[in-house]
Copies of this chain bind each other. A is one copy, B any other.
Amino acid sequence: MVRRKDPAVRSLLIERAAQMLAARQPVTLRSLVAGTGMSTMAVYTYFGGMDGLWTAMRQEGFTRLAARLATVETTDDPVRDLAALGAAYLSNALAVPDLYRVMFDAGFELEDAAAADDTLHHLVRTAERAKTAGRFRDDVDPLELATQSWTVGHGLASLVATGPLPPQALAHGVPLLTALFVGAGDDPVRCRRSVELGWAL
């Protein structure tokens, strides 16, 4: 009785929307399906409307971000890795600034929060590694430190991607993260070296 929705079509639309977003073309219902042979109804059968498309785009953004963070190699210096994750976060955000803006736009829902948590998890695990390696104090909560690192990264990404700060302001990431990690107990000079190594934009 059914005629199942084709997942490939869904990904195709998401892909196309992402490309249009990256090309700074307005993503509208009609422009999205134009040239694909599909009618505007496709967006409704696959996403339930434009809001659904934007939600899907947010998830896509977090998925890509998670994939990007997964490429960061884990070394024997977890603090370096933590900084490298921050750098990768910023690199991803500025590579696709419009998608990044969509991810944190007004329509943020609970289901998006799950995707965001997955992203945070990379940071949490690395913070844990740094803690067990004795780089951080015992009373440091890895989740809290990860959240604080995220806050710094997002603040930087948001201000640079939106325009208030110039791209060279990304260099602030080094002093910000070193201060944060030293505050968590790491040795100042060693920390600085680790962060600079991991940052390496």
Contact = CB atoms under 8 A, between A and B. Distances in A.
A113 to B, nearest CB: 6
A107 to B, nearest CB: 9
A179 B182 CA distance: 7
Interface size class of A (residues with CB under 8 A): 35 or more
Interface string A49-68: 00000000000000000000
Given A101-B106, A104-B164, A116-B164, A176 B159 contact: no
Contacts of A108: 162-164
Interface of A: 101, 104-106, 108-109, 112-113, 116, 144, 147-148, 150-156, 158-159, 162-165, 169, 172, 175-176, 178-180, 182-184
7 contacts: A112-B163, A150-B155, A151-B165, A151-B172, A176-B180, A179-B182, A182-B183
